[in-house]
Amino acid sequence: MGVKIANFEMKNPIIAASGTFGYADEYQDFCDVSKIGAIATKGITLEPRGGNSGERIFETDCGMINRIGLENIGIERFVEEKIPLLKEKNITYILNAAGSTLEDYTKLASIADKNNIEAMELNVSCPNVKSGCLEFGVDSNSLYELVLNVRKNYSGCLIVKLTPNVTSIESLALAVQKAGADAISAINTLKGLGIKIDFINGRFYKKEVQGGLSGKCIKPVALAMVKRIRAVTNLPVIGMGGISKLQDLFEFISAGADAFEIGTQNFTNPEICTTLAFELDNFMKSNGFKNFEDLKTAIKEIN
């Protein structure tokens, strides 16, 4: 079940996606977090952020829309308070890093390198902030410069999280590879709008949330994007978007994924990551697969 990306080793290919699993051991009451391949932390910025005001969550059919806005405690508190907890609980983690400027990202990279953080996922695809993130993630030239500068300041496993809100995800994947990243994760949320109209006591009332759409409803888009990325790059791809069951993992492998991130499903089933890790391991043992690579090969050889 082990997976290795660059020099970053995980005990299995299941990763809890950023923004859905807290910083460290918030899910410890529900499952043994140490049995998950890794957790991607909440998006961490240089300074603490309070996130967006007003309505921030909207439930949709088979999914949800969020506009949290990268609320987080900042890199200093993360290093001081959360890394010791992660080490104590034997939790493998990936630092999800976000910024407003190129300098923000390079400073975060230097701090991560200094503190021996083994893996970092660049968030260049969050649609819920006024500056940074998506500004870099929709332009291949800007993305290339960003990743290149981060690579100069960070020696660990560098993952870049791509957005589906573009015409050509292929050009972004090629830019990431050229700049020296070790892997690509895809996809982040789709831009969406949730509207609810109520009629109460003779008057209409409206609730509206515009933000990132996630959940089972985006799986076909995610699969298409993973396949398009795989067609142009040989970098490892961490697939995500609507994964909720073992069959979904097989579908993402078929599209070209080498590992998986589980997001929205964590909110409705807090044990989903450990359940999928167990079910995948049990399937492999029951059907004679020597390791995860053996399973991937069998799926990818399907005509």
Structure tokens at 145: 């410069």
CA 285 to each of CA 14, 131, 256, 276: distance values in angstroms, whole numbers, following the listed order: 17, 47, 22, 14
User: CB–CB of 11/92 below 8 Å?
Assistant: yes
Whether 31 is catalytic: no
* Helices 219-232 and 169-179, axial angle in degrees (round to 10): 50
- Which one of 126, 133, 157, 273 is the catalytic residue? 126
| Alpha-carbon span 21 to 265, nearest angstrom | 11
List, by residue number, the catalytic residues.
Answer: 126
